[in-house]
Amino acid sequence: MEYVIEMCNITKEFPGIIANDDVTLRLKKGEIHALLGENGAGKSTLMSVLFGLYKPEKGLIRKNGEAVQIHGPNDATRLGIGMVHQHFKLVHNFTVLENIVLGVETTKYGFLKMDDARKQVVELSQKYGLEVNPDALISDISVGMQQRVEILKMLYRENEILIFDEPTAVLTPQEIDELMKIMKGLVAEGKSILFITHKLNEIKAVADRCTVLRKGRCIGTVDVAGTSLEELSEMMVGRKVSLFVEKPESRPGKVILSVEGLNVRGKSAGKNLLSEISFDVREGEIVCLAGIDGNGQSELVYALTGMLPVDSGKVSLLGRDISRDSIRGRSRGGISHIPEDRHRHGLVLDYNLAYNLILQSYFNPEFNKGGFLKYDDICSYADSLIERFDIRSGQGAKTVARSMSGGNQQKAIIAREIDRAPKLLIAVQPTRGLDVGAIEYIHRQLIEERGKGKGILLVSLELDEVMDISDRILVMYEGKIAAELDPKKTTYQELGMYMAGSGKEKSA
């Protein structure tokens, strides 16, 4: 038998939806097998079945030709199956080393034997090029590093079959390149990888074969080498997707947002988180904040929306100073905000979809009367957004947000923030975790809003998005605006150089 894992005719149902409908997937030893599909197609569900988190209604799993029962993650680990989840599962106040050995600690007379573990972890990290500091606390390291810890966790458990659920969604382009290399190194060592991503170029770059899911059904498995990007996206969405966005010339009008000399000091003395930030966003333009993650973009957005107090400087919206306004004051004044972290800020996961869609407008007279929520109106409003933005879930407006797929959670936030018809839309990584069809739709929406005379401040780590969508690019480096670029006149190389901090001072 050449297949290490065979998932045959898997069917998994949730209330109101068949997440996996008779899906068959076969993983060869030593291959990188991509899993592609729209948001809510059932990719995470299928992988969770393999990892023992869900019990399928029908179907059979075989390992090396033998049928196996996987009742939980412990069974999966015993069978050599490991998984890096869409949202990581690390203990934040533990060190890297402690997280890696957690659950499989070796002990002697009841005491932890960390020395052996440390040696092993260091060896593994050298062998696969996964540099980490074993003694760093998880809360202190970057998302990219956290992912390495997750990978080391799988390797430490000597897993042979590695599942990566959208590993690249949270990474910077540099980190993605590194991850691709690491994955290739892993299969060269004889491991087999299942890889979920929405980015077709990543599939092209590393995957050998690709299985496509659509609405829970398996559309087919293809050899990546013999399939074009267009064919892949058509298989996934069922129609042709234009990967390039058309947009009319922008006609900037009057200034909407004006930032003057903004400073935010860090917790530790020394470097400022933000120093002397000044820029404008005008009507009818998309301004993009580009930069490598962690150069002050998040802090700038928090400062603009009122979630982080500033030490000095002025923020004005349509000529009015809002520096002292509350978060609510600013949002009612016309700022809407698609946050970076959808689980932390964007959603109340235990509320249903309808309640999440009114999170920024429940206090408006449309949705309440005399302090009482108008539930029927809320639901019909939710239904209209669900329809317009194609938010897919098991039970429509009444679905608990927690049970929705990652991409559909994101679509819900975008729908809410765009529909509030703000004057200024601050969108942080709005297309993170979305499928190509949805990205196309969201990009069109952003350009449409721009056409309506809104100002848009886009924060993105994706160079393609930065170059395609924006009218102006502000590059941030170490809490300062390092350069202002015109996407039509600049190159990826130039942009990259400024992002790395080695460009000439303000150009253009």
Could you list the residues that contact other proteins (CB under 8 A)? 13-15, 55, 57, 307, 326-329, 331-332, 337, 339, 344-351, 355, 359-360, 362-363, 368, 371-373, 375
Shortest Å distance, C-beta 434 to ligand ATP: 8
Range 33-69 burial, b when 16+ CB lie within 10 A, else e: bbbbbbbbbbbbbbbbbbbbbbebeebebbbeeeeee
Q: Does 356 bind ligand ATP (CB under 6 A)?
A: no
Shortest Å distance, C-beta 239 to Mg ion: 22
Q: Which is nearer to other proteins, 13 or 234 (CB)?
A: 13
Shortest Å distance, C-beta 20 to other proteins: 12
Shortest Å distance, C-beta 397 to ligand ATP: 13
Selected binder of ligand ATP within 25, 26, 37, 310 (CB under 6 A): 37
Q: Does 44 bind ligand ATP (CB under 6 A)?
A: yes
Choose one: 35-43, 66-74, 465-473, 476-484; the region binding ligand ATP (CB under 6 A).
35-43
Q: Does 297 bind ligand ATP (CB under 6 A)?
A: no
479 binds, among ligand ATP, other proteins, Mg ion, none (CB under 5 to 8 A by kind): none
- Alpha carbon 291 to its chain centroid, in Å, reads 17
Choose one: 14-22, 177-185, 361-369, 382-390; the region binding ligand ATP (CB under 6 A).
14-22
Shortest Å distance, C-beta 331 to other proteins: 5
Running DSSP on this structure, what letter comes out for residue 142?
Answer: -
Q: Which is nearer to ligand ATP, 39 or 272 (CB)?
A: 39
Running DSSP on this structure, what letter comes out for residue 400?
Answer: B
Q: Which residue is nearest to ligand ATP (CB)?
A: 407
Q: Does 43 bind ligand ATP (CB under 6 A)?
A: yes
239 binds, among ligand ATP, Mg ion, other proteins, none (CB under 5 to 8 A by kind): none
Q: Are 284 and 248 in contact (CB under 8 A)?
A: no
Give the C-alpha separation, 505 to 38, whole Å: 42
Give the C-alpha separation, 281 to 308, whole Å: 20
> Which strands form 472-477's sheet, in the order they lie side by side?
335-338, 424-428, 455-459, 285-290, 472-477, 480-485
Q: Which is nearer to Mg ion, 360 or 409 (CB)?
A: 409
Q: Where are the beta strands (DSSP E) in 242-377?
A: 255-265, 272-282, 285-290, 312-317, 320-321, 335-338, 368-369, 372-373
Q: Are 319 and 260 in contact (CB under 8 A)?
A: no
Q: Quick one: CA dihedral 179, 181, 184, 188, positive or negative? A: negative
Q: Which is nearer to other proteins, 53 or 205 (CB)?
A: 53
Is 17 strand, coil or helix?
strand
Shortest Å distance, C-beta 412 to ligand ATP: 11
Selected binder of ligand ATP within 11, 64, 403, 507 (CB under 6 A): 403
Q: Which is nearer to other proteins, 325 or 464 (CB)?
A: 325
111 strand-pairing partners: 108
CA distances from 404 to 333, 355, 384 (A): 31, 14, 18
Q: Are 73 and 246 in contact (CB under 8 A)?
A: no
Shortest Å distance, C-beta 45 to Mg ion: 8
